[in-house]
Structure 1
Amino acid sequence: MQHDPVLHSKTLGADLRALRKARGLTLQDIADRLGRSVGWVSQIERDLSEPSITDLRHIAKLFDVPVSLLFGTPQAAAEEAGYVVRAGARRPIGSGDSGLVEELLSPDLSDDFEVVHSTFQPHSRIGEVVTRPTQEVGYLLSGKLDLIISDRRFTLTPGDSFRIKAEPFEWINPYDDPAVAIWVIAPPVY
């Protein structure tokens, strides 16, 4: 079986470690679920080995993240790497299927939180109620967005902020304009 190495950012290992820890999984858990050795998973997390495209697809499926998240971003200037994310170098996250376009504003997933730029397309709605073991805070930059948290509906306008603490929530943009928010999630889920 031949594996084609994939070019990825130098943060792939750190991102995988952060995803694993955020989900409370051990190296052994990941190895078992992928049918690989603990050593192989450890080498990927330490950026000592590059997974194949097929491996990346399996890893993305395991963590329920888009495979595009694992491909990394354009290289940042050496003095900016890990500190600055330029507007044209944001990593797209999520599938966009429900009308939500997300970009990672954090340099990687190795922090205790992640910061996401979210654009909710007009007349879009999340497909299901979401409950995750996180604390989330958001700030609406533009547009209007309806947010339902624990069966309470709120209409947000620019300048409004919100918090979700491991509660069921969903979002709806029934309006004619996109809504744009900055969303902070701890621990990282993407």
Structure 2
Amino acid sequence: MQIGKKIKNLRLKKGLTQEELGERTDLSKGYISQLERDLSSPSIETFFNIIEVLGCSPKQFFDEEERVQKVVYDKDSQTFFAEVEKGYQIRWLVPESNEKEMEPIYLMFKEKGEFKKFEPSLSETFGYVLSGRVTVYLGSRIYVAKAGESIYFHASEAHQLVNDVDGPTELLLVVTNSYL
């Protein structure tokens, strides 16, 4: 069992950053990162504190249900997070997709909303603009896609998605997970 991946998955489901989890557990962001990558092992006390903050009991954490391939995911299995300050909402369409090769999400920007800035990685990003318009900042270049158009890029440079129009923008995004 990879404890770090389970901790990361629970953290993402709660909509917490590594820094926020660290603040709530009196641990550093760096230590949380090491735990999630299975580079360090927590003490029992620290482990119980982390899963308590993440809303999980030890039994739930260690239960290994029979792994049957799931194909259809209903709306109730999706995880939702809203970032009011930056003006976006994200819905993870497949639970635990951060542990899979692809992570499909639905992203909705409010007027002038912007997604967080991402550092370079080995990931690839595909997006389909359902409505509105999205601006992609990729390194020093800027690209614009409107409703009905697609975006596709390697995340080898710093990047960000922004809604620069009056009114909302909706996207379907699929990002490959890079295991750095």
Q: Where does the alignment leave 5 or more consecutive residues of structure 2 unmatched?
A: 10-32, 56-67
CA distance in 1, matches of 2:85, 2:132: 20
Aligned partner of 2:91 among 103, 119, 133: 103
TM-score, length of structure 2 as denominator length? 0.60
Q: 4+ residue runs of structure 1 moved beyond 6 angstroms?
A: none
Alignment of 1:84 with 2:91, yes or no, is no
**Cα gap change, 1:84/1:170 in structure 2, threshold over 3 Å: closer, same or farther?**
same
In structure 2, give the amino acid aligned to 1:84: V
Q: CA RMSD in A?
A: 3.8
Alignment of 1:9-158 (within 5 A): 16=6, 26-27=37-38, 29-31=39-41, 35-36=42-43, 52-54=51-53, 56=54, 82-93=70-81, 95-109=83-97, 110-126=99-115, 128=117, 130-158=119-147
What corresponds to 1:3 in structure 2? none
Query: Offset of 1:18 from its aligned partner?
Result: 7.7
SS in 2 for 1:159: coil
Same amino acid, percent of matched pairs: 15
Deviations 1:105-126 (A, max 9, x none): 1232232111001111111224
What corresponds to 2:175 in structure 1? 185
Deviations 1:86-135 (A, max 9, x none): 23442014645411211111232232111001111111224545433311
Q: Where does the alignment leave 5 or more consecutive residues of structure 1 unmatched?
A: 1-12, 42-48, 58-79
Deviations 1:20-72 (A, max 9, x none): xxx89653x241xxx326xx97xxxxxxx9x6422x28xxxxxxxxxxxxxxx
Query: Offset of 1:81 from its aligned partner?
Result: 8.1
Q: Verify the 8 A CA contact 1:139 1:181 in the aligned structure 2.
A: yes
The count of residues paired between Structure 1 and Structure 2 equals 141
Query: Offset of 1:162 from its aligned partner?
Result: 1.3
Q: Verify the 8 A CA contact 1:120 1:179 in the aligned structure 2.
A: yes
